[in-house]
Amino acid sequence: MPMASSKTSTAGSATYGAKDIQVLEGLDPVRKRPGMYIGSTGLAGLHHLIWEVVDNSVDEAMAGYCTAITVTLHEDGACSVKDNGRGIPVDPYPSGPHKGKSALEVVLTVLHAGGKFGGEGYKVSGGLHGVGVSVVNALSKRVLAEVDRGGTRYRQEFVEGGKPKGKLSKVGPSPKKDVTGTTITFWPDPTIFAAEGVEFVARTVTERLQTMAFLNKGLEVNFVDERKEKAQKITYQYKGGIIDFVKHLNASREALFTKVAHYEAAEADQTLDVAIQWNTGYYEGIYGYANGISTVEGGMHVEGFRTALTSVLNKYARATGALKEKDDNLLGEDIREGITAIIAVKLREPQFEGQTKAKLGNVSIRSFVQKETNARLEEWMMENPSEANRIVKKAVAAAQARIAAKNARNAVRRKTALAGAGMPDKLKDCTATDPAETELFIVEGDSAGGTAVDARDPRTQAILPIRGKILNVERARLDKMLKNNEIQTLITAIGGGIGNDEFDATKARYHKVVILADADVDGSHIRTLLLTFFYRQMRPMVESGYIYIAQPPLYSTEVGKEKIYLKDDSAKERFLAEHPNHKKEFQRLKGLGEMDWQELRETTMHESSRTLLQVTVDEAALAEDIMSVLMGDDVESRKQFIQTNARDVRNLDF
């Protein structure tokens, strides 16, 4: 849904030059404090380099100049991003300290240089205010930029964190006379990303690229992996845009009806694209995007949509008699139960809160989205009474369940109050009371729980054994959950309440909640059930970084008289490479119960020698999709997901 017409596009292409590239400050700080620019120097930061370059290509697509983007992971560790946009300008910079340098060199070597500040370079953009490609240059050991403009191929190379190896040069004619575009190839600097390495994860890249294709209707997004044993080619292109996105998100769920409600609107310098479909599940999935950027914390566009949604549904329910005069209005949470919605807006001057752009702050977009949703959604419901009635019926059932859940909550609270101290009997609490230094280990089984009690530091580490597999909360409403003893115990031990609307992470009694389960199929299932519970009912704990997974070793062996523990098969292979003549057997540790408390302490619980995996939420829509696949009813989707992604599991990243 480009905001520029084809006529405007032609004019824009003719006038887009060095004068549109404005310089705000230098590049020096990037290598000193990379986390300020890409969030971290771990795997998330490494992949952020790709997003920075791709976002520039997507900006060209949103402006109406680019129809295809290709991201390639090369065998030598490089990544290239190619588009058929206008090509970064190559004419000499007109003024100031960079006068005479090519605009391409300025864009690649100066922070805050780009076509998104003033001028007519872009009507809307999602790139990080021009810092993108220069930051990638600063954090790479080598960058090669190739541009096609005016029938000529231009090239410039940069090394050692952004130093030009030479001036911009003409290397010959473009492959085709009328072809334009940019290809940026970069080799990440391993000294910057030393902690977790510079190997890109295919799944992380493809998920982001697929989302970009959904959000830019008709845009062809190609992914090519040239690495041995990982080679693949995928093309994403969606003529239905976000309608296809909603269908994709609901594919592993049971849709309430087959139709997808969809409407678009535009005014002045802002546009709106909305797609909605309900499913038979119990969780809300509303995802906001602004200029192609995922606003995981919502913002004014999502707020305007929610307000209008509640108003329209209540108005329709009363008009059709589903709600009587004496009945209370349906609450927003009742109406949003089982919803999957994409709210995609584009605007000229987006105001994002925070460096990560998690929330959109433009007040004008709230009233625009609210006004259009009030009119367009009401119209859709009147035209589709069968679907509208199903939505209302589901919302009424959700309201009844909400009242039942409130009563169940109160029953849990009364039970806790009557228990005196209020903590579950099976919880072996720690003596420290500062949540910042306390840890709760959720341990599978009573026998392993007893071992963990002996292995812990009683001052800072609490132990909560759970028996068997907890309820799968993906398939249950809150009122049913609250009747489950194991879930009641978890709620009471952690504190902070229950339900994402009510839960308060600041009241949590522990800032580290560690899932400690066996390294077998049953242990994996228990971990997934617990993670589903935290994600669905205590999501602020996940968002705050309070949820961890313990990494008990899979093998043990002996070197001399010393017992050595190895985390997994990869660790075993590294050990054998270092000790090729090792003769002792490897014992596979099937369960936590096989370790004595000293072993459990040294390998899994002691702060100085353990390995914990922190669980994070990077992209809300992807997290929702993964949860539904892993814990929903669609067995085939679950099997396919596990088979596809088994090789890529290095981090657990919802």
| Most confidently modeled range among 17-21, 156-160, 399-403, 479-483 | 156-160
Q: Which of 401, 436, 469 is the last residue of a domain?
A: 401
Among residues 189, 213, 202, 209, the alpha carbon closest in space to that of 73 is found at: 202
Residue 16 is predicted with a pLDDT of: 75
| Domain of residue 254, CATH code | 3.30.230.10
Using CA atoms, how far apart are residues 53 and 157, in angstroms rounded to an integer?
16
Q: What is the per-residue pLDDT for 219? A: 97
Write phi, then psi, for 41 (nearest 5 degrees).
-110, 20
Predicted confidence band of residue 261 (pLDDT cuts 50, 70, 90): very high
Among the three residues 186, 210, 236, which one is the final residue of a domain in this structure?
236
Residue 408 lies in a domain: no
What is the rounded CA–CA span in Å between residue 269 and residue 263?
18
At 649 the pLDDT is 42
Q: Is the pLDDT of residue 650 over 60?
A: no
Collapsing DSSP states into helix, strand and coil, what is residue 497? coil
pLDDT > 70: percent of the chain = 84
Tokens of 158: 């940069």
| Segments of 160-260 assigned E as strands | 163-164, 169-173, 181-188, 220-225, 232-236
Amino acid identity for residue 553 in this structure: P
SS3 2: coil
pLDDT tens by residue, 36-53: 888 889 998 999 999 999
Q: Answer yes or no: do 308 and 367 share one domain.
A: yes
Instruction: Annotate 613-637 with DSSP letters as a single string.
Output: EE-B-S-HHHHHHHHHHHHSS-HHH
**Residue 264 above 70 pLDDT?**
yes
How many angstroms separate the first and last alpha carbons of the chain? 29
For 629-644, the pLDDT digits (tens) are 665 555 555 555 544 5
Residues 482 and 349 both lie in one domain:
no
Least confident of 23-37, 182-196, 444-458: 23-37
Lowest mean pLDDT across 109-123, 192-206, 276-290: 109-123
Burial of 112 (0-12, 13-18, 19+ CB in 10 A): middle
pLDDT of residue 21: 66
Does the pLDDT of residue 116 top 90, yes or no? Answer: no
Same domain assignment for residues 361 and 443? no
| The pair of three-digit structure tokens given for residue 525, joined into one six-digit string | 């299932």
Q: What is the pLDDT of residues 381-398, one digit of tens each?
A: 999 999 999 999 999 999
pLDDT for residue 111: 79
Does residue 194 share a domain with residue 273? Answer: no
Q: What are the C-alpha distances in Å from 109 to residues 16, 80, 141, 161, 598?
A: 20, 18, 14, 9, 54
Residue of 180, 182, 259, 213 lying closest to 9 (CA atoms): 180
| Residue 24, pLDDT score | 45
Q: Label residue 595 by pLDDT band (50, 70, 90).
A: confident
Q: Output phi, psi for 68, to 5 deg.
A: -150, 140
Last residue of a domain, one of 218, 236, 254: 236
CATH number of the CATH domain containing 497: 3.40.50.670
Q: Residue 24's Cα: distance from chain center in Å?
A: 30
Which of 154-163, 196-205, 348-357, 599-608 is least confident?
348-357
Mean pLDDT, range 407-414, rounded to an integer:
67
As a whole number, the mean pLDDT across the chain is 84
How many other CB atoms sit within 10 Å of the CB of residue 43?
20
Q: Are strands 512-516 and 439-444 parallel, antiparallel or unpaired?
A: parallel
pLDDT for position 602: 87
CB-facing half-sphere around the CA of 647: CA atoms within 13 A: 8
- Is there a single domain that holds both residue 293 and residue 368? yes
Domain assignment of residue 283, given as a range: 242-401
Give yes or no: residues 253 and 193 share one domain.
no
Map residue 525 onto helix, strand or coil. helix
Tell whether 397 and 486 lie within a shared domain.
no
Residues 331 and 455 in one domain: no
In a domain, 409, yes or no: no
pLDDT band at 126 (very low <50, low <70, confident <90, very high): low
- Specify if 375 maps to a domain: yes
pLDDT tens digits, residue range 545-569?
899 989 888 888 999 888 888 887 8
Q: Domain for residue 321, yes or no?
A: yes
Q: How many residues are recorded in the chain?
A: 654
Is residue 1 included in any domain, yes or no?
no
Confidence of residue 27 (pLDDT cuts 50, 70, 90): low
- What pLDDT does residue 120 have? 52
Give the C-alpha distances (Å, rounded to integers) separating 455 from 549, 599, 601, 603, 626.
17, 8, 5, 10, 34
Question: Residue 103 is part of a domain; what is its CATH number?
Answer: 3.30.565.10
- The answer to whether residue 406 is domain-embedded is no
Asked whether the predicted pLDDT for residue 594 surpasses 90, the reply is no
Of the pLDDT bands very low, low, confident and very high (cuts 50, 70, 90), residue 289 is very high
Mean pLDDT of 106-120: 67
What pLDDT is recorded for position 13? 59
pLDDT tens across 453-508, in order?
999 999 999 999 987 667 776 677 777 787 788 888 899 899 988 886 788 999 99
User: Within a domain: residue 413?
Assistant: no
Amino acid 81: pLDDT: 98
pLDDT value for 415: 55
Q: Is residue 614 part of a domain?
A: yes
Strands 461-466, 439-444: pairing is: parallel
Q: Residue 338: which pLDDT band, with cuts at 50, 70 and 90? A: very high
Residue 637: predicted pLDDT: 57
Name the domain count of the chain: 4
The predicted-structure confidence for 364-374, as pLDDT tens digits, reads as follows 999 999 999 99
Give the DSSP H or E segment for 417: helix 385-418
616 and 578 in one domain?
A: no
Kindly state whether residues 174 and 92 are assigned to the same domain.
yes
Give the residue numbers annotated as catalytic, written as ranges.
444, 518, 520, 522
Question: What is the pLDDT, as a whole number, of residue 293?
Answer: 85
The residue type of 344 is: A
pLDDT score recorded for residue 372: 97
Regarding whether 292 and 194 lie in a shared domain, the answer is no
> Are residues 225 and 179 located together in one domain of the fold?
yes
* Better pLDDT: 564 or 140: 140
Q: What is the 3-state secondary structure (H, E, C) of 434-474?
A: CCCCCEEEEEECHHHHHHHHHHCCCCCEEEEEECCCCCCHH
**Checking DSSP bridges between strand 169-173 and strand 181-188, what pairing results, if any?**
unpaired
Greater confidence (58 vs 423) lies with: 58
Query: Residue 623: which pLDDT band, with cuts at 50, 70 and 90?
Result: low
Instruction: Kindly report the pTM of this predicted structure.
Output: 0.73
Other CB atoms closer than 10 Å to residue 353's CB: what's the count? Answer: 13
d(Cα 184, Cα 155) in Å, to the nearest integer? 10
